[in-house]
Chain A
């Protein structure tokens, strides 16, 4: 490790920056960069992993799923246009509304945030690429496979049909394969979503340009951080819920069956602990886009930067404390309803602060109504209406009337269109020159806007009334004598007007623009780094990575653009022929090291295909191919790490430009991989906590948990099993310290101890008569042990990977990142096993 003293001068002085780069040097550098970052030619294009390619595919795929889900909505509107219509039968209609909601949420709203962020985040931060390009590609291919699988079920009349929140017992006991498709297909996509969130968080924390402290980074990056964090904590409870749910569907473990001690309310809690943050997960990114457009339109820096950041973080926290407002009608005690009602209203404050900060910025600026601002204005009109009805439905007595009616349908579409779709489209108009190096048509944009805005309001404004007149949501038909007819007809007409607007927008997006001249580089005169992009495009991301010490470097740091273009800043060259980006420290963005990033590969697609198999085969109860697929997926991921990230660089450090010498290899907390493991394990620990929560939930909700005469896990075996696992953890920790010959022996012993520990924990239940199909208590105990065993398998694979790395010289005392990362995994694993031991051996004995 190089010490600070011999790294060179930092921060760069003005004299250093003012020194010109000789033209021929600059050209040679640019040529080398161009060659290193070139896209794979011909059909091998699809092996690309660059954020600029994967991001575009991701956006287009999500948009495609949005259009499909929109078509479902139109078909439903046709069915509801007149009373007692037979255009769709009940079964089709129920599949359509379930898939409309599920696809809009899981295949559009969340992925489009990740897609747009993968696409533009590196350029906002002056980075070459995301920290783990192959992970983005893997996430994208998982998304494609999972999305096609879930949407494809519609073609076989086998789609999920229990509503997008899949309440048991309806979803557990009835219907065919649809519920399994929903649970497994969407869990698969959720895993990919978490992977993308981990990458985005690490991108914001570690890939900022030198000097860009957290308090000057673009607001968009702040929102990525908040939303990424929310995904990491919100999706795992749903994944844990999915796991319990699928165990009930496939193996009849009675988690939600009241006759055997289960409770359908547990699913509602787990679902909405996910589901409410989800609302903000799709809303905050649009605020983020708005936060980039508004200062540009106002031609001045944002007012109230700190207020906005605090509000975004505050919204993120608050959103985890509101979930019960989806359950006001479930008969919970008035005291908890009152608490959640007040908490729900409290979220108005941070939301209001963000909106008023934008208004304040416009007040102090000299506003230019650039086209994206039209969409922001429309978004405000719609979102504020949705927010105000939100204030109403957070009031419990009012919610008791309108809950599960068309009033809620109207409310949620007002928040989602105003708080998500309109700003996203505004953002696409705004960022399009960066993405496509062309501009969208303002004329078509106005057509699209007014058609969508009018159509939207004509569709959804009357729905408030429809709901208040007594029409519940999710009905495939209604009688003609209730006064609902004309309201429904108006909504249907409006839906088609809106669809016409969306078509105009999609046409504008996709129409060939070959003859259009190149747009200016910075058509809106914005102040942030993404507008230093090259026209025509270059695959290198940014020509050289600047030193940034202002919030709007293009406005506030003179000669920024020309110095970037000249290669005056960091990493202007690719002299070793490798793709590289700069990694900086979390708070101050102090340059830490040069990160070699991975290039095009097919292995990510194979890994996605086999991961897909592991999730999709169990839908049909084909367990052997599922296990084979899972093993192959793990093999692919190991191969991909072994051949790329585990490569020891040819030299210890390199000249990063501006006289700065930086290491090429770091491990532990300096490394991006270590951070990624940390964040992933937080998500994993959250899922595990949800299972522990389930145990306590059953205990508090029922006097029969554990039931009378219940057996307990064998205490001695549990103690032995957790002891063995703890020993394995200690050996892994020792191996990390030693990282030499002794480490190999320690790891081998640790693997044996972990396997033995898992087996003994299994026996601790197996030797009793605890039958998981009999009652929810044994089922819950078995669920915890299965969770632990799956994690122990992963832990042993990691230990084996490190052992092999040591044996083949891929891991040395200087190059020990895999040991650090595996040990971090094991810290969490050891804790999980200790808690599980207490939960199965001690807690039930105390609960009786």
Chain B
């Protein structure tokens, strides 16, 4: 929140500084008054003054301050939720990863990805949020506020990044055992770079490495999709361009071959309760091939 990279986050941070300044003044004034009447001026003051304190401090002052604050802050809500004609992205929170689907203008079918959100800079993109089984909450602190994600319901929010870079987000509504291990990197790109990237992502995978056979033989396709291969499962994340992502296992591990091997051989050790079974029976050759294949899917 302290290094905002989005219009909404910046507005909220400025709002915070204003409120903090007011809060510090009020805190010192009130506690100072208490100290004064109990320790410094221990003697009778006039009753009229005392009643003025009740009415002034308890009614007039908060009435003025709070009305001003509400008038200043409430219109911000509209800005932060207003849809724009930018990109639309559907995000579905699963236990404990993110299904991310991009809907470029006029597309009939989405470009499917997972566990990473990419947005073009300097435009307002709309996020359509939902969840698979339980409630989650979507939050990229550097870009803006959070919105809950419900099974069977779509909630909307918008984000308007103002700087390029990678910003960490994390599920903010307790969603069970591995709630702590459900992060999502948000990569903000220049619009042209974003357009190129999205076009690449829309392509099927075109890689014939030895690991491809291991992947198909082990039945990974029952849960995962790699477009361009027979693997078309929807239970787990789409892996078509896994190698191009910045992190693994919903922002928990770096995108390296070693991390990939550790994950595949025992997901439970990385993320308690994860539904993916352990593939610890794979021999070293197969595992190396599989990791190399997946890393190669860029």
Chain A residues with CB under 8 Å of chain B are 89-91, 94, 162-163, 167, 169-170, 173-174, 258-259, 263-265, 297, 303-304, 307, 311, 329-331, 334, 337-338, 341-342, 345-346, 348-350, 352-357, 359-367, 369, 373, 377, 380-381, 384-385, 388-389, 391-392, 395-405, 468-470, 472-478, 482
Contact = CB atoms under 8 A, between A and B. Distances in A.
B38 A362 contact: yes
A363 B49 contact: yes
Given A329-B172, A380-B30, A474-B179, 14 more contacts: A90-B177, A169-B133, A307-B54, A331-B155, A331-B156, A355-B30, A356-B58, A361-B50, A364-B50, A396-B73, A397-B77, A401-B144, A404-B146, A468-B2
A385 B15 CA distance: 18
Given A264-B135, A329-B137, A360-B53, A345 B66 contact: yes
Question: Which of B15, B174, B177 has most chain A Cβ within 10 Å?
Answer: B174
Given A329-B147, A341-B70, A469 B2 contact: yes
Contacts of A258: 150-153
A383 B37 CA distance: 18
10 contacts: A170-B134, A329-B173, A349-B59, A353-B54, A359-B37, A396-B73, A397-B11, A397-B145, A398-B16, A472-B139
Contact of B69 (A345, A362, A476): A345
Contacts of B217: none
Nearest to A353: B58
Given A369-B39, A397-B145, A470-B1, A404 B172 contact: yes
Interface string B121-139: 0000000010001110101
Contacts of A380: 30-31, 34
Nearest to B23: A388
Contacts of A352: 57-59, 61-62
A389 B23 contact: yes
A388 B26 CA distance: 8
B272 interface: yes
Contacts of B76: 396-397
A338 B76 CA distance: 11
B4 to A, nearest CB: 10
A395 B19 contact: yes
A364 B44 contact: yes
Interface string B28-58: 0011011101110011111101110110011
A401 B74 CA distance: 14
A682 B155 CA distance: 37
B178 interface: yes
B174 A163 contact: yes
Interface in B155-178: 155-157, 168, 170-178
Contacts of B145: 329, 397, 399-401, 403
Given A470-B141, A474-B174, A356 B38 contact: no
B1 A359 contact: no
A356 B177 contact: no
Contacts of A388: 23, 26-27
Given A338-B77, A392-B16, A90 B69 contact: no
A345 B49 CA distance: 26
A167 B135 contact: yes
Contacts of B74: 338, 341-342, 395-396
A366 B34 CA distance: 14
B148 interface: yes
A273 B135 CA distance: 20
Contacts of A362: 34, 37-38
A162 B174 contact: yes
Which A-B residue pairs are the 9 nearest by beta carbons? A400-B145, A258-B152, A331-B155, A353-B58, A475-B180, A360-B50, A388-B23, A352-B58, A170-B134
A335 to B, nearest CB: 10
Nearest to A330: B148
A304 B16 contact: no
A90 B80 CA distance: 34
B186 to A, nearest CB: 12
Interface in B68-93: 69-70, 73-74, 76-78, 80-81
Interface string B2-29: 1000001101100110010001001100
A264 B57 contact: no
Given A349-B58, A366-B43, A400 B51 contact: no
A319 B155 CA distance: 27
A303 B47 contact: yes
B15 A349 contact: no
A477 B133 CA distance: 23
B191 interface: no
B31 A391 contact: no
B151 A169 contact: yes
B45 A363 contact: yes
A349 B172 contact: no
Contacts of A361: 50
Contacts of B59: 349, 352-353
B228 interface: no
Contacts of A357: 54, 58
With most chain B CB atoms within 10 A of its CB, the pick from A258, A337, A346, A363 is A363
Nearest to A94: B177
A409 to B, nearest CB: 12
Contacts of B210: none
A448 B5 CA distance: 45
A1 to B, nearest CB: 46
Nearest to B66: A345
A363 B152 contact: no
B213 interface: no
A402 B176 CA distance: 20
Contact of B33 (A348, A359, A392, A396): A359
Nearest to B1: A468
Contact of B147 (A265, A349, A366, A400): A400
Nearest to B150: A264
A753 B51 CA distance: 62
Q: Most B CB atoms within 10 A — which of A170, A173, A263, A265?
A: A170
A354 B57 CA distance: 10
A303 B151 contact: no
A400 B137 CA distance: 11
A380 B135 CA distance: 37
A362 B39 CA distance: 10
B38 A345 contact: no
A334 B78 contact: yes
B110 interface: no
A401 B9 contact: yes
